[in-house]
Amino acid sequence: MNLLQTFRIAFRALLRNKMRSFLTTLGVVIGVGAVIAMVAIGEGAKSSVEQAFAAMGTNLLIVMSGANTAGGVRGGFGSQPTLTWDDLKAIQSEVPTVKAAAAFLRSTSSVVSEDQNWTTQVGGTSPEYLEIRSWPVAQGRAFTQSDVESATKVALLGRTVADKLYGPSADPVGQLLRINNVPFEVVGLLATKGQSAIGQDYDDTVLVPSSTFRAKIQGGLRSYLNGTIFIQATSGADLPRAQESVTALLRDRHRLAQGVDDDFSLRNLTEMASAQAQGTETMTTLLASIAFVSLLVGGIGIMNIMLVSVTERTREIGLRMAIGAKPHQILAQFLVEAFTLSSMGGALGVMFGVGTALYLASRFGWPLLIRPDIVGVSVLFSALVGIGFGLYPAYKASRLDPIDALRYE
């Protein structure tokens, strides 16, 4: 008797009790489906968090000026400019793990077109900033290094500002714009970036060259940089080293003795991002382990039904033994039945899980992230559950005494 025949006998036995077989399988279907769907949900949530952080720019460090303390009032970061334009140059040229660095000066100003006005954040910066924030220009052009050097009056608009000033989805390139009564030419429209993690609209902004910003919008001290410096490290792995090097460089340039607090603050956004991602990862693990427990419960359901089935079919087992079935053949028959139940459940569960994941992905706009390794592991596990939990009932069946079994009522 070969394996194929054993499978056929098992299959026929299962078909004799279709409803029961289906209900037994359901436990495993739900278990496997839940594992797959939960992991997909977790992965989707993780990637949407990662996307939110990626929108801010990757491998990003932000340096802000330090705090001043006057008359016992501590002013908070940025209350006293301590960063200088030479600091920026030093960061750009002296730290090998820094890929790009850009100053960002900000002011809230009223911007005026021919017939509309809008109050928004005006940023003064350099072309590196767009690169660091991975923020391309959708229409027109970005301003260039020479725009910065010669302080040309050019501006890049975010989508929201363009809508407010020139009407929805109008092309603002070439239009004129006044900021603090100074005319600027709109040379480009920034790509839509959406909202930040805390709901701030990235697209509600106007960018101008930092030199123009300092000359026409907000003055200030000549050598001090009255804003923040955005730094992009060469890679994620280099980020901690870049952070250390920049800190050391700035401490050195600011002549801070050992033990004295930094007069600037350096923030690592990637750390926040990975902390967030770790949070969702923990949630995924939690959900998956709960789902895994339900898979285990499904396995116990199989064992229960197999035990009932062995009792119910005691006479059949006795007969099979009387006409020549060896104990190991009876064992194989019931094992294969349990295995068939659980692996069918596994297969249905994959469909169920993938379906749920598809639905949720389209519902919440997450990317569909079905991990093939999780699918494989849960199918394999469901088959093992069948064999594991089927073993005891099958062993029980194979140890029956044919005489007692034949006489069983």
Residues that bind another protein (CB under 8 A): 1, 5, 9, 12, 16, 315-316, 318-329, 402-403, 406
Contact 172, 165 (CB under 8 A): yes
Residue 370 to residue 377: CA distance in whole angstroms: 13
- Closer residue to another protein, CB minimum distance, 257 or 323: 323
CB of 9 to another protein, least distance (A): 7
Sequential DSSP letters for 118-175: EEEEEEEE-HHHHHHTT--EEEE----HHHHHHT--EEEE-HHHHHHHH-TT---TT-
- Closer residue to another protein, CB minimum distance, 159 or 313: 313
Residue 153 to residue 119: CA distance in whole angstroms: 19
CB of 406 to another protein, least distance (A): 7
- Tokens read off for 45: 């949530």
Residue 139 to residue 142: CA distance in whole angstroms: 9
- Closer residue to another protein, CB minimum distance, 243 or 314: 314
- Closer residue to another protein, CB minimum distance, 8 or 89: 8
CB of 329 to another protein, least distance (A): 7
CB of 321 to another protein, least distance (A): 6
CB of 312 to another protein, least distance (A): 11
- Closer residue to another protein, CB minimum distance, 17 or 92: 17
- Other beta carbons within 10 angstroms of residue 345's beta carbon come to 33
Residue 389 to residue 24: CA distance in whole angstroms: 13
- Closer residue to another protein, CB minimum distance, 221 or 322: 322
Residue 369 to residue 357: CA distance in whole angstroms: 8
Residue 137 to residue 237: CA distance in whole angstroms: 28
- Closer residue to another protein, CB minimum distance, 331 or 374: 331
- Closer residue to another protein, CB minimum distance, 15 or 73: 15
- Tokens read off for 334: 């019931």
How far is residue 171 from each of residues 33, 48, 126, 161, 174, measured CA to CA in Å?
A: 49, 30, 23, 12, 9
- Closer residue to another protein, CB minimum distance, 38 or 400: 400
CB of 287 to another protein, least distance (A): 42
- Closer residue to another protein, CB minimum distance, 1 or 221: 1
Residue 361 to residue 181: CA distance in whole angstroms: 48
CB of 319 to another protein, least distance (A): 5
CB of 320 to another protein, least distance (A): 7
CB of 396 to another protein, least distance (A): 15
Contact 225, 87 (CB under 8 A): yes
Closest CA to 102 of 138, 65, 130, 143: 130
AA letter at 55: A
CB of 355 to another protein, least distance (A): 33
Q: Mark 361-390 as b/e (b = at least 16 C-beta within 10 Å).
A: beeeebeebbeeebbebbbebbbebbbbbb
How far is residue 57 from each of residues 31, 54, 142, 356, measured CA to CA in Å?
A: 39, 5, 17, 32
